[in-house]
Amino acid sequence: MKITREYFTAMTGQAPSMDDLERCNCPMAGEIGHYYCGWCHTCDKPRWVCGHPRINADDEYESRMALPGSLDDYQEGGE
């Protein structure tokens, strides 16, 4: 799921700046050195904002903690 500029703005109240979208959509999120890359589906915020690190072992847990009606409401083109 790709975090878009519109979704980022809706969830954080501010437009993304500098490398915010790249960090949210980082393909290495959860790897060493990238624990605060990605999007926290529990808080519906960028990981560096909420402070919940993503460690690859959390993937199954996190998918069960996703908030209903959050990211899926903003997906474009069924991505």
Distance of CA 27 to the CA centre of its chain: 11
CA distance linking residue 14 with residue 5, whole number of Å:
10
Whether 2 has a pLDDT exceeding 50, the answer reads yes
Show the beta-strand stretches assigned E in the chain.
Answer: 39-40, 45-46
pLDDT tens readout for residues 21-65: 999 999 999 889 998 999 998 899 999 998 888 776 445 444 444
